[in-house]
Each structure stands twice: as C-alpha cells, then as structure tokens.
Structure 1
Amino acid sequence: MNTEINICWLRRDLRLKDNAALYHALKADHPVLLLFIFDKNILEDLNDKNDARVTFIYQTLQQINAEMQKNGSGLLIKYGTPEQVWSDVLNTYKVKGVYTNHDYEPYAIERDDTLAEFLRSESIPFYTYKDQVIFEQTEIVKADGKPYTVFTPYFRQWKNKLNDFYTKPYPVEKYIKNLVQIAPLPFPTLHELGFQASEQDFPSVSFEHKLAAYEERRDYPYDNATTHLGLHLRFGTVSIRDAASAAIAAKAEKWLSELAWRDFYMMILWHFPQITTQSFKPAYDNIRWHNDPEDFEAWKNGKTGYPIVDAGMNQLNQTGYMHNRVRMIVGSFLTKHLLIDWRWGEAYFAEKLLDYEMASNIGGWQWACGCGNDAAPYFRVFNPELQAKRFDPENKYIYQWAPEYKQQKNSPPIVDHAFARERILKVFKEALK
C-alpha cells in the first residue's frame, strides 16, 4: 500500500464510538487504519484454548470489522508478539503516526515503552491518550502531590473534580470518513489463532435499566441487580464516559462510586506496581500461610461445605462471573479460613473471570485479605453462614448454584469457623508484630 497512513492500535478499547485515540487519529493529517494484535505473549499464557474472553474479543472485532466495511474500510488483524507485528506492519505500510490509548498494567507499560523506542528509531511519532478511566495517574492526588491510598478522600476529590468536560464523548462519527479506504482484509479464524469458539453467554451491553435498583439490591446475589458491565469496561466495548454519564443522570451515587473504585485501583497499580506480587502493606508478606493444596482444590471446586462459598465458586466455574458480594466472601474464606495466600486466589480469578481486570482484582483480593491499601482489617473475618443469612435469606442463590445443599448431599465443612477465626488471628498477629 503506497498511501501514507496513521495507525490506531486497538487494545482495551474495542469500539468505534467515543474512542479517544481513534478520534485524535481521524482528526490528524492522514487516513487511518485500525489494527488489533492478538498478542502471543498473552495468549500463550492461557491454559484454556476454549477461553471465553478470546471468543468475546473475536466476536467484538468481527462486529467492528463489519461496521468499518460499511464505511469502505477494514480492520487489520495480526497474530504474534507486538515486536514481530510492528516490524511487519512498518515493512508493509507507510506509517506516519501511531495512536493508541493508555494501559496501566506492568506488561502493557513495558510493551508500550518498547514500541515507543522502536518507533522513535523509525522517526514515527507515538501518541497515547487517556480513555479507560475518568481520572488517571496523577490527576487525583493529595495536596503534597502524593497519591491517595484511602478511597474515601480520593472519591471526595474525584467527585468534586468531575464535570461535563470529563464525561463528554469523543465525536468519532464526525470524522469516520477519514478511515483508510481499503478492500476487505484477511480475518483469521479462531482456530488459526489456536483457540476454539466458546459457547459462553456474554452479558448485554445495556445497563441503564439496572441503575435504579442498584443501591438497594446490589448486595443480594439472587436478585441479579448488578450491571454486569465489568466485561464491557474491561475490553472497552462500553466507554467509561458513557457509564459515568448514565450514573449521573440516574443519580446512582453508589454505582458512580464503583466506577471511582475502578479508577482508584488503576491509579494504585500505576503508582505501586509491586502489588502484582507483593502485599501493599509489606508486613503481610511475613504471614506463614498454610497453603494446603487439598483445601485449595476444595475451594476451587465448590466443595468447602460452606453453602454460599460453594455456590459462588460454582457460579464462577460455570459462567465466568461471580456476584461482587460473594467475591468478598470467598476471598475472605480462602485467606482467613483456609490460610491460603491471596495470590493463589487472585491467579485463579485471573484464569476464570470474564471481567478479570488486574488492578481491581488485586485490589479486591488484598482488601479481603487485609494486606491492601484501605483494606478490611485483618481481624474482620466474614462468617459465611451469617453472610448467607443476611444476603441470601431464602437460600435462592445457594440452591441455584449449589443444589446439593437443597438435596442435603453436600460436603461437610472442611474447617470449623470458630477454629479458623482463632487460628487466623494468631497467625496474622504473629506476622504483624
């Protein structure tokens, strides 16, 4: 192709509407080609070749490609390491600029730094933009310029700063005619990528109708009163600005705060990247974990003998989703009842959750364990039976996902609650001296 072009690299922003990088690329001087890379470095780490997240990405890209073809363009799909792909792309196209949106995970930062250096050597500018959060990095900080590590004062400033400027959508549609006009490009099959199509159902992108009941019913897992928007925010099939605008319009304060928690955890990960492998509070890395493999298998497979824990794990294993309240319960149970390292649980969630998002997942696990910033204190040990009575009083959620309890064919409890509580307090106290 002899035409000079700009490339917009899609990653966690799989949409044409309200996309910061795409908007800026289309407004620049050259026609724009959209690129998506199935990153070999990421895909090779996936154990399940039927991984539903890959299917979700693939189906979304098909929809984007179809939309682009209506505009006489097409989506360039590549498979390989970013280094290999970009070398190939620059050999094929006359690239004058590369546009993309920020990503805050350690691997992504390293990948983008490497690409920036490579493009610089080729005299090609690399432009990146904020897109997946409302406020990022150092936009919400304390008076001394240091990051907040407690959510409440962070959210207060987050909310005070929020205005129409930060939720205004990027009008991509005004400039869509500036896409490269090109014949349909080859679109690999899932099989060619080394994956099989998953039969998993994915949640609807529609969420506004859930906001009215969210505040009152979000903690009751059987009610299905949460938005299930996590998957769409994770892969950018919904704009965070759209989500925040809907929350403001519906006066859904609690749901707005959940969006702020997401910003908060991404900011924490950016400032403290060591939390991917270490506790935010270093003393907690002195804990002498029990780490019994049989207990871990029982927890993973919903065989703990605690109904709400088993129901949650069954829901996760069968659907790739778990209700937020139940995530806290099973996280607390693994770390505090079974004395198993939070990193084991975090890794299992990373493998199973459709909406897995590193910053929020690590933040949630460290919160449940007590080792994170603004976390539940170590001596707060959820009683799974009391949690079930409070949030699933008629056992509807439990019987839906762990029907063996209704049939009284369940496993006996693998640990006594009173014993577990006494043990964890002793172990944690010893580590935190």
Structure 2
Amino acid sequence: MQNLLILIVLFVAIAIGWLLGRLSKPSKGDDAAEAPPALSRDYLASLNYLLNEHSDRSLDSFVETLEVSSDTIDTHITLGNLFRMRGEADRAARLHQNLLARPALNDRQNDQVQLELARDFMHLGVLDRAENLLRPLVDTSQHSDIRGASRELLIQLYEQEREWQQALDLVPSSLLARQEDLRCAAAHWHCELAEQDFRRHDDRAARRHLKKALSIDAQCVRAYWLQAEHYHRQQRYRDEIKMLERLATQSPDFAPIIIERAIAAFRLLDDEQGLMRFLDDQIQATHSMEAVIKRAELGIAREGITTVAAQLDALQQQQPHLRGIGFLALLRSRQAMLELSAPNNERAANMLRQLHDHLQRLDAHTPRFRCEKCGTLYTHLYWHCPKCKRWATIKPRDSVDPAVAQRETPAQRVLKTPSTSR
C-alpha cells in the first residue's frame, strides 16, 4: 500500500513536469519540438526498479538514466523526499547530491536541493554537514521562503544540540516581533541559559537571562518559576511566595504545581494561617482542585474527616472533577475504616483499606500534564514537548473547568469557613 501511494504521487509529479515541458516547447514542425525523454521506457523501468529495490545498484541504475532539466528537477526532488519519508535518508542524500553535481540547476533550484540535502543529513544525524549547508542559505539565499525554511531547520538543529546561544544569534529582533511562537521559543532559550548559569553559581548572569526572557515574552511561566526556585535556594521564602502568587494570578492554568511549591514554602516558615489564606485565595481565583484538596487535608485536623468529606461531597455535586471524586473516595474509605474498626468488622475494614491504597496508587500514577498541541499525556512537566517539539504547550490537567466554576458555590463557602467543632 505504501509503495502504491508513493508511485501515485511520483507519477503525478512526473506527469505535471512532462506536461509543463510540452507546453513550453515550440509548436509542431519546429526542429526543437521533440518531447524530452522524461517518460522513456528505460527511465520508467529504472524508476520502478528503484522504488522496489533497496540496493545501491538500483539507485545507480536510475541515476544513469537521470536527465535533469528545468522541467524535471521538481520530480527528482520529490523522489528524494519520498525516500526520506520511507526512512531511506541515505538514498535521498545520494540522489540530492547527484542533483547538485548537475549544471542544469538555476539559482533557486540549487538552493532548494541544498535545503533538501540538509534535511537528509538531519535525518541521518550528520548535524555538522547539515549546518554547513544551512548557514549559507540563511545568510545569502535570495529567496525568502528558502531562507525561512533554512532558518527553521537550523533552529531545530541547535535545539537538538542544546546550542541555545547560537539559536538566539540566528533570530533577529525584527523577526521576534512578528512571530509569537518564535518569541516563546527564544524566551525558553534564555531560560535554558539561565539554568546553566545557576548550576555554575553565576546568579548574576542567570538573572540577566531571566530578565531578557521576560522582555521577549512577558507571560513566560518558566522565567517566573526559575526565579521562585532561586529564592527558595536562598531561603528567601517570602519572596518565593510573592513570586508564586504573581505567577498564579498571571497563569492560573499552572495553579496545581504553583500550590505545591507554595505549600512547601509556607511550611518552612511555619505559617499555617498564611497557607490557609493562600489556598482560600486560590480556590476563589483559579478554582483549582489541587487547592480544594490541600485545603481539605488541612481542614481534617481542625474539623474532622466527616465534616470535610461532607463539604467535598457537596462540591462534587455542583462541580464534578475526576481527581476530586478520587480524593473524596479516599476520605470516605478512611471514614468507613474508622467506623468499622471494631473486631467483628475487621474483614470489611481490611477491604476498605485495600480500596484506599488502590486509589492512592491510581492518583499517584495518573498523568497530570497534557500537551495542548499534540495531546500527549505526561506524569511530569516538560517545558519542551518531547513528542511535537513545541515550547510551553504542556500544562497541568487538574484545574476545574472555568465553564463550570463561574461563581462561588455554597460548598466553596463552606470549605473557606473554619470550624472549631469536630
């Protein structure tokens, strides 16, 4: 099936090239009106052999019959690309290298073939040769589309090599002003450099990169996050909390991980009242289930498990959330275990304890992050999606949908009201 599809695409390309060649020739009777041998029997036989064989001999056989002209160059480029798509980048590279050796290429065609050859080398992992081809195309090509494609490919190469400064040097400020995705990427390249500086204990250089990242992309979550981590390492926990509160206001989608970090800082300060206020504010502002759960956990010691479970039950009736339901099941099973702790109920208590343990394991292994571009689920946060290679597309999954949290519910008001009774 794959070979059939490739043959169809290739023959359509050949037919278009042949037809354009015929239309561009003089009328009948002119000595130059002979049709080019693009569809000769030898050519088609070699092409069929090439697509169905995987030996160098088949490629050599095709090259012997290869006639390169302005009418057929696109066909040969397409063929090389099809090889690369089939995972045969080495054969694509040989074909593209052969094209470059032909004198029939004009300036644009020569640039296009060099770009495709660079793609071949990227697939083969020969990154230095790919870079040697792409650099001149970015700097000197007279064709804006080829310059743009070459820059994009070279950026991918530098990201793969983790050469962040070279990637930044490749992108002029005028281009950043026009392309949002590129601004986001450049801000993350500065964050990568800041992390390197922090590891080298060069805090001043790291802060410069974070400042530059925010000047490029004022919404860069990672820059604020790295600054909060820096405050934490310096034991400046109040500054860390302020930075996290600012980040939660700006980027409520990240409330779940922000809350985890803030809880650790409040506990290091032994400030339980401040933590309770912070969680209440997050429930109001972001409707984060993480805040609801953490607030409930703290409330158990003050209000008792029965009261807190009832409050969460009321919340789930109005704003159902998978993680909230799982936590409620944990509370209910723990409550039942306490009530069934008498000797004659030991078997039932053991069954509930097993259910409790299973729910805890399920919660611990449930992917908490999702890429908004490709949909891949992750158990950890990545700033650069390993699958689709996009920056800042992975976010936590466990915020309550704002569409079902437009107003404060009675259950939220109950959760925020401290009680002295158990």
State the TM-score, normalizing by the size of structure 2: 0.24
* Structure with a larger share of its residues in helix: 2
More strand as a share of residues = 1
Structure (1 or 2) with the larger CA radius of gyration: 2
Q: Which has the higher contact order (CA 8 A, sep 6+)?
A: 1
